[in-house]
């Protein structure tokens, strides 16, 4: 053990003394946690996709504005029924030097939809068959599905060599960077891939993701110059960097939907008037400032404005702050003295603070709120899985396609821990998955309006993602998904 | 002596088995399902059922315990669920760091406490001694988190002399060691002061002085040897605590030690990682305890074992 430690120590010491000149092309990024696994079909942690976005690519990939652009497929065609997609492969190479073949693509995609292997296989269950042609891959769907193309940008649809082994720690992809070393709890070292199919070579030759779990330490490391970029700065330490010379902060919507989940199946919350009273009694402006230092955008329904193509911006007046009307609704429902439990997940300071502020506001209506702060494991078990709660709070991560976000509120969804049920809404989501273009957009606008009026929960805000960086770093691009795009950065 | 050693060895084994059972069953009793924690808010019931099966969570508790314990003895420590890496590798990287950190922290605390404690006892009426005493009080009271942040702010951000965090060789250990050593110096110094003051009043010290021995000889040969027992025991306890990892200091300085690893493991209910790491720490502490007791016997004839 001792010898093993001595070698890196000496090596690093030598590098530190020699490496002054090369430092210009090294970028150090602070993240709070290690990835869970680099096997695309096993990983579930957002921390992994953030890093792996730069290592793996699919047939297509996400763009910063929420669209889809060609990646390993140079172009694709869809037949008239909308069920047969043909993706034409371009000449591309894996990090290990092998050329990407049709077999690699077919194997990767079949592995991703195999329920025996893949954790999220269910998300690709619209695929009937994947077949390899000469220089293309044909994917046949059971029925038309407008979300399908977006799902191909997810990490589980990444392409890797058919015979690859031990991907969980040794990923092999086609992305602009490859993983050179992973030292758990310490750092991930990425190096740029010189043979990317685009012919472009990223500016930074080496990128280190340093694991720093304490947010104050992250800021000090940025100020001391040990890291140059914190992609997700905790809002509670924003004031420490806000006016620091040499540091800039770029804010963008996270595409996260923070909401008070209400157990719609449990009386008296099965009464829409009670749920609406909770919404009207909430001064969300005050919460935005009190809990998030004003760094967020108020939400009226289940989509963030970051979902530009589908966001319904007409819902601002549906649930205004109106304590008088809230009291009236409670009286009408016979619940003026309602007492309920608000369950908060302890590991999310933003949610806990939001919950505490909301509890005070609801008590001003004459309600009695019992706060219960639970560990994340307990939250997932009791609130999310067993649906044993009154009111809780959570942030639901954004996806590229509205269907993946909105399907959660349908009656039969296993992720519908609100126990929300609305027949028209279920119909709309069914229709939306087959519709295209303007028609699809109109369907989702109506779906959002139903959620705003019927209230599976009270929508709060989309917190800002705060990227703090050395002011010399240029080219930061924010995405509606949880990624850091290294290839676009330079200084 | 032989009988004593046998008895200690028996106690060692019994403790190890009891601890293994306790860690295993306590982790099972904790609310929070490992499979649920791994899947988060995007999981489906099918994926959940399969994952439980994959992790053998659907098997009876006792069966899993016996399987794990025999695998542990055979050196088959398996893969961490949280990191998808071999537990052996994770612990193998974190443990040496925690060990070195503990050794350096307690060692430097002891080195600093020796003159400080002696001075406070022998010159207890001087202003310097009073100041030192006040200083140790403060050292005991300061939260480590705050001291660590302050040290980084000063030495890394302002002066840019030392790294702000992470582990890049010995220079990275200076600030964490200082943070850890400060309260421990205070504890050891006060223990030593109390011990020396007590011994100074003993008859044999007066006798040694009246015999005509010089002040320093009396102090180092007769007083210190008798007064060191308390602080040495305290240092032993401090070391044992630090070997298991120092969560706060590791977090503040971004050090990849055992504390951080165990904390993440517990949050994610990473049973293979937590069980194995706790077992190893317990074994090291037990072994250290045994060795320490034998060493004390050498220092103090009254506690030699027959």
Mean pLDDT on A364-377 = 94
Candidate from B30, B37, B256 with C-beta closest to A183:
B256
Maximum Cα interatomic distance, chain B, rounded to a whole number of Å: 86
- Cα–Cα nearest to A155, from A70, A54, A257: A54
CA distance A13 to chain B (A): 6
Q: How confident is the model at residue B305 (pLDDT cuts 50, 70, 90)?
A: low
Whether the CB of A122 is below 8 Å from some CB of chain B: the reply is yes
ipTM of the complex: 0.85
Task: Please write the tens of the pLDDT for every residue from A138-177.
Answer: 999 999 999 999 999 999 999 999 999 999 999 999 999 9
- DSSP code per residue over A300-357: SSSS-TTSTTT--TT-TTTS---HHHHHHHHHHTT-TT-EEEEEEETT-HHHHHHHHH
The token pair that represents A55 in the structure block: 């290592």
- For residue A21, the model assigns a pLDDT of 41
Mean pLDDT throughout A384-406? 93
CB contact under 8 A, B264 and A13: no
Do residues A392 and A264 lie in contact, with contact meaning Cβ atoms separated by under 8 Å? no
Instruction: Measure CB to CB from residue A186 to each of B160, B251, B256 and give the nearest one.
Output: B256
Taking only Cα atoms into account, the Rg of chain A, rounded to an integer number of angstroms, comes to: 24
- Residue B48 pLDDT class (50, 70, 90 cuts): confident
Q: Does B83 touch chain A (CB under 8 A)?
A: yes
Q: Which residues 207-226 of chain A have a CB within 8 Å of chain B?
A: 210-214, 216-217, 220-221, 223-226
Say if residue A2's pLDDT is above 90. no
Averaged pLDDT, A274-286? 96
* A309 within 8 A of A441, measured Cβ to Cβ: yes
What 3-state DSSP class applies to A238?
A: helix
Beta-carbon separation of A224 and B46 below 8 A? no
Q: How many Å lie between the alpha carbon of B100 and the closest alpha carbon of chain A? A: 10
Q: How does DSSP assign A183-211, residue by residue? A: ETTTEEEEEE-TT-TT----S-SEEEEEE
Cβ(A132)–Cβ(A109) below 8 Å:
no
Cβ neighbours for A186, distance < 8 A, ≥ 6 positions apart: A210, A211, B93, B166, B167, B254, B256
Q: Quick check: B46 contacting A, CB < 8 Å?
A: yes
Contacts of B98 in chain A (CB under 8 A): none
Selected residue of B33, B165, B173, B245 to mutate for chain A interface (largest A Cβ count, 10 A): B165
Per-residue tokens: A170:
């040794």
Q: What are the backbone angles phi and psi of residue A177, rounded to the nearest 5°?
A: -130, 155
Asked if pLDDT for residue A23 goes beyond 70, the answer is no
Q: What are the φ/ψ torsions at residue A247 (nearest 5 degrees)? A: -125, 135
B155 to chain A: closest CA residue: A224
User: Taking CA atoms, what residue in A is nearest to B255?
Assistant: A186
Average pLDDT, chain A: 92
Q: Return the closest-CA partner of residue B185 out of B123, B125, B244, B133.
A: B133
N-to-C CA span, chain A: 40
**Interface with B, mutate which of A151, A185, A213 (most B CBs under 10 A):** A185
Residue A66: pLDDT above 80? yes
Backbone angles phi, psi at A10, to 5 degrees: -65, -45
Write out the H or E segment, with its range, that includes residue A449: helix A437-454
Q: Is the pLDDT of residue A324 over 60?
A: yes
Reported as a pLDDT band with limits 50, 70 and 90, residue A287 is very high
Please report which confidence band the pLDDT of residue B2 belongs to, taking 50, 70 and 90 as the band edges.
confident
Pairing of strands A206-211, A187-192: antiparallel
Q: Which of B100, B22, B149, B109 is nearest to B256 (CA)?
A: B100
The residues, ordered by sequence, that sit 6+ positions from A479 with a Cβ below 8 Å of its Cβ are A62, A64, A485
From A310-314, A394-398, B2-6, the region with the lowest mean pLDDT: B2-6
Distance CA B209, CA A133 (A): 100
> Is some CB atom of chain B closer than 8 A to the CB atom of A414?
yes
Q: What b-and-e string marks burial along A234-243, b requiring 16 or more CB atoms within 10 Å of the CB?
A: bbebbebbee
A221/B84 Cβ within 8 A: no
Is B165 within 8 Å of chain A by CB?
Answer: yes
What pLDDT, on a 0 to 100 scale, did the predictor assign at position B1?
67
Residue of B nearest to A4 (CA): B93
User: Which pLDDT score, from 0 to 100, does residue B37 have?
Assistant: 84
Residue A116 touches partner B, C-beta closer than 8 Å: yes
**A254-258, B2-6, B73-77: which range is least confident on average?**
B2-6
Handedness of CA A269, A274, A280, A283 (dihedral sign): negative
Neighbour tally for B130: CB within 10 Å:
13
Cβ atoms of A91 and A99 within 8 Å: the answer is yes
> What's the angle, vertex CA B207, arms to CA B202 and CA B209, rounded to 5?
100
CB atoms within 10 A of CB A18: 9
How far is C-alpha A298 from the geometric centre of its chain's CA atoms?
Answer: 18
Alpha helix stretches (DSSP H) within A1-101: 2-18, 46-52
pLDDT at A4: 52
- Our CA-based measurement puts residue B286 at a distance from the nearest CA of chain A, in whole angstroms, of 20
Of B146, B129, B148, whose CA–CA distance to B137 is shortest?
B129
* A396 interaction partners in chain B (CB closer than 8 Å): 41
Q: Which two tokens stand for residue B144?
A: 């480590």
pLDDT digits (tens, 9 = 90+) for B254-298: 898 998 888 888 888 888 899 898 888 888 888 888 888 877 777
Strand partners, A73: A89
Percent with pLDDT over 90 in chain A: 81
- Nearest-CA neighbor of A378 among B153, B30, B291, B117? B30
- Work out the minimum CA distance from B5 to partner chain A, whole angstroms: 28
Q: Which domains, and CATH codes, for chain B?
A: 2-73 (no CATH), 89-267 (1.10.3720.10)
Rounded to the nearest angstrom, the minimum Cα separation between B174 and chain A is: 14
Cα dihedral A302/A307/A308/A312 (nearest 10):
-10
Nearest CA distance, A489 vs chain B (angstrom): 24
Strands A339-345, A391-396: pairing kind:
parallel
Name the minimum distance, in Å, from the CA of B234 to any CA of chain A.
27
User: Could you give the CA distance from residue B38 to residue A119 in angstroms, rounded to a whole number?
Assistant: 10
* Chain B contact for A34 (CB, 8 A cutoff): yes
Question: Which one-letter DSSP state was computed for residue A385?
Answer: I
Q: Do B95 and A187 lie within an 8 Å CB cutoff?
A: no
- Identify the pLDDT of residue A16: 44
DSSP states of chain B: -HHHHHHHHHHHHHHHHHHHHHHHHHHHHSSS-HHHHHHGGG--HHHHHHHHHHTTTTS-HHHHHHHHHHHHHTT---B-TTT-SBHHHHHHHHHHHHHHHHHHHHHHHHHHHHHHHHHHHHTTTSHHHHHHHHHHHHHHHS-HHHHHHHHIIIIIIIS--S-SSS-SSTHHHHHHHHHHHHHHHHHHHHHHHHHHHHHHTSHHHHHHHHTT--HHHIIIIIIHHHHTHHHHHHHHHHHHHHHT--HHHHHHHT---HHHHHHHHHHTT-HHHHHHHHHHHHHHHHHHHHHHHHHHHHH-GGG---
B84 contact A CB<8A: yes
- Residue A424 sits at the chain B interface (C-beta within 8 Å): no
3-state secondary structure of A388: coil
Q: Is A398 left (phi over 0), alpha (psi -120 to 50) or beta?
A: beta
Task: Inform me whether the pLDDT recorded for A61 exceeds 60.
Answer: yes
- Polymer length in residues for chain B: 306
The per-residue pLDDT for range B159-218, each reduced to its tens digit, is: 889 998 888 888 999 999 999 999 999 999 999 999 998 888 888 888 888 888 877 788
Beta A368-374 vs A339-345: how paired, if at all? Answer: parallel
* pLDDT tens-digit series, residues A196-212: 999 999 999 999 999 99
Residue A277's SS3 state is helix
Residues 172-231 of B with CB under 8 A from A: none
* Residue A360 reports pLDDT greater than 50: yes
The string of DSSP codes covering A100-161 is P-HHHHHHHHHHHT-TTT-TTGGGGTTEEEEEE-SSEEEEEESS--TTHHHHTTSGGG----
Burial label for A404, CB within 10 Å (0-12, 13-18, 19+), is middle
Q: Determine the distance in angstroms separating the CA of A478 from the nearest CA of chain B, rounded to an integer.
A: 22
Nearest chain B residue to A46 by CA distance is B40
Q: Between B31, B40, B149, which is nearest A220 by CB?
A: B149
pLDDT digits (tens, 9 = 90+) for A102-152: 999 999 999 999 988 888 888 999 999 999 999 999 999 999 999 999 999
- Between CA A245 and CA A223 the distance in angstroms is 9
Banded model confidence at residue A18, pLDDT cuts 50, 70, 90: very low
Tell me how many helices (H) and strands (E) chain A has: 14, 18
Chain A contact set for B95 (CB, 8 A): 1
Given this model, what pLDDT does residue B27 score?
Answer: 83
Two tokens at B14? 């019994």
The answer to whether A384 contacts B36, with C-beta atoms less than 8 Å apart, is yes
pLDDT band, residue A342 (cuts 50/70/90): very high
Residues on chain B touching A375 (C-beta within 8 angstroms): 31-32, 267
Touching check for A449 and chain B: CB below 8 Å? no
What pLDDT is recorded for position A397? Answer: 86
Q: Which of A10, A171, A181, A186 to mutate to test the interface with B (most CBs of B within 10 A)?
A: A186
Contacts of B157 in chain A (CB under 8 A): 220, 223-224
Q: Return mean pLDDT, chain B.
A: 86
Which residue among B90, B163, B169 places its CB closest to the CB of A184?
B90
Contact between chains at B169 and A5 (C-beta distance less than 8 A) = no
Angle between helices B2-29 and B271-299 (to 10 degrees): 150
Give per-residue pLDDT as tens, B101-123.
Answer: 999 999 999 999 998 888 888 88
Rg (CA), chain B: 24
pLDDT recorded at residue B304: 61
DSSP H helical segments within A346-399, as ranges? 349-363, 376-378
Q: Please tell me the distance from the alpha carbon of residue A229 to that of residue A220, in angstroms, as a whole number.
A: 12
Q: How are beta strands A60-62 and A26-31 bridged, if at all?
A: unpaired
């Amino acid at each position: 053990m001792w010898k093993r430690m001595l070698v890196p120590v000496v090596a690093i010491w030598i590098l530190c003394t020699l490496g002054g000149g090369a430092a210009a092309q090294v970028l150090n990024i602070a993240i709070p946690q290690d990835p869970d696994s680099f096997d695309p079909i096993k990983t579930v942690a957002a921390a992994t996709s953030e890093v792996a976005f730069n290592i793996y690519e699919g047939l297509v990939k996400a763009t910063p504005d929420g669209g889809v652009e060609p990646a390993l497929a140079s172009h694709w065609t869809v037949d008239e029924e909308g069920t047969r997609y043909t993706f034409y492969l371009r000449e591309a190479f894996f990090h290990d030097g092998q050329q990407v073949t049709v077999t690699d693509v077919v194997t990767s995609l079949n592995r991703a939809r195999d329920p025996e292997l893949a954790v999220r296989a269910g998300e690709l269950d619209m695929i009937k068959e994947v077949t390899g042609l000469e220089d293309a891959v044909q994917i046949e769907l059971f029925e038309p599905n407008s979300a399908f193309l977006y799902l191909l940008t997810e990490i589980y649809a990444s392409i890797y060599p058919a015979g690859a082994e031990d991907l969980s720690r040794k990923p092999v992809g086609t992305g602009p960077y490859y993983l050179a070393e992973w030292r758990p709890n310490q750092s991930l070292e990425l190096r740029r891939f010189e043979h990317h199919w685009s012919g472009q070579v990223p500016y930074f030759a080496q990128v280190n993701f340093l694991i720093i779990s304490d947010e104050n330490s992250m800021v000090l490391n940025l100020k001391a110059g040990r890291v140059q970029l914190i992609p997700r700065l905790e809002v509670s330490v924003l004031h420490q960097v806000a006016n620091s010379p040499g540091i800039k902060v770029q804010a963008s919507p996270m595409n996260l939907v923070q909401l008070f989940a209400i157990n719609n199946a449990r009386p008296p919350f099965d009464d829409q008037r009670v749920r609406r009273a909770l919404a009207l009694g909430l001064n969300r402006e005050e919460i935005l400032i009190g809990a998030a230092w004003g760094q967020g955008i108020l939400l009226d329904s289940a989509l963030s404005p970051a979902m530009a193509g589908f966001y319904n911006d007409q819902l601002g007046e549906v649930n205004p702050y109106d304590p008088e009307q809230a009291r009236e609704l409670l009286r009408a429902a016979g619940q003026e003295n309602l007492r309920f439990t608000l369950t908060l997940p302890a590991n999310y300071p933003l949610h806990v603070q939001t919950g505490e502020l909301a509890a005070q506001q609801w008590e001003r209506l004459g309600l009695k709120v019992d706060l219960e702060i639970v560990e994340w494991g307990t939250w997932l078990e009791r609130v999310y899985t067993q649906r044993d709660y009154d009111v809780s709070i959570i942030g639901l991560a954004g996806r590229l396609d509205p269907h993946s976000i909105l399907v959660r509120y349908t009656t039969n969804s296993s992720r519908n821990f609100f126990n929300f049920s609305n027949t028209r809404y279920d119909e709309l989501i069914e229709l939306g998955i087959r519709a295209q273009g303007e028609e699809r957009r109109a369907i989702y606008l109506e779906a959002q309006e139903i959620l705003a009026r019927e209230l599976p929960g009270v929508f709060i805000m989309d917190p800002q993602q705060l990227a703090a960086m050395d002011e010399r770093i240029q080219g930061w691009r924010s995405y509606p998904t949880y990624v850091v795009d290294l290839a676009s950065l330079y200084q | 002596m032989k009988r004593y050693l046998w008895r200690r060895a028996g106690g060692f084994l019994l403790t190890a088995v009891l601890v293994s059972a306790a860690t295993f069953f306590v982790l099972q009793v904790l609310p929070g399902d490992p499979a649920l924690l791994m899947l988060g808010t995007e999981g489906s019931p099918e994926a959940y059922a399969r994952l439980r099966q994959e992790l053998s969570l659907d098997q009876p508790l006792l069966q899993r315990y016996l399987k794990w314990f025999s695998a542990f003895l055979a050196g088959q420590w398996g893969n961490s669920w949280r990191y998808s890496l071999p537990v052996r590798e994770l612990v193998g990287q974190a443990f040496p760091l925690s060990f070195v950190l503990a050794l350096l922290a307690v060692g430097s605390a002891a080195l600093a406490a020796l003159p400080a404690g002696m001075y406070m006892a022998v010159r207890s009426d001087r202003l310097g001694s009073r100041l030192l005493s006040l200083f140790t009080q403060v050292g005991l009271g300061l939260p480590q988190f705050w001291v660590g942040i302050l040290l980084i702010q000063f030495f890394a951000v302002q002066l840019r002399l030392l790294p702000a965090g992470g582990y890049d060789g010995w220079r990275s250990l200076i600030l964490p060691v200082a943070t850890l050593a400060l309260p421990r110096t205070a504890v050891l110094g006060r223990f030593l002061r109390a011990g020396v003051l007590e011994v100074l009043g003993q008859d044999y010290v007066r006798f040694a002085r009246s015999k005509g021995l010089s002040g320093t000889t009396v102090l180092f040969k007769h007083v210190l040897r008798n007064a060191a027992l308390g602080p040495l025991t305290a240092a032993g306890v401090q070391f044992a605590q630090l070997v298991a990892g120092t969560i706060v200091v590791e977090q503040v300085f971004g050090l990849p030690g055992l504390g951080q690893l165990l904390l993440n493991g517990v949050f994610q209910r990473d049973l293979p990682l937590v069980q194995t790491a706790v077992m190893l720490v317990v074994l090291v502490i037990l072994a250290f305890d045994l060795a320490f007791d034998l060493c004390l016997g050498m220092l103090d004839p009254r506690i030699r074992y027959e």
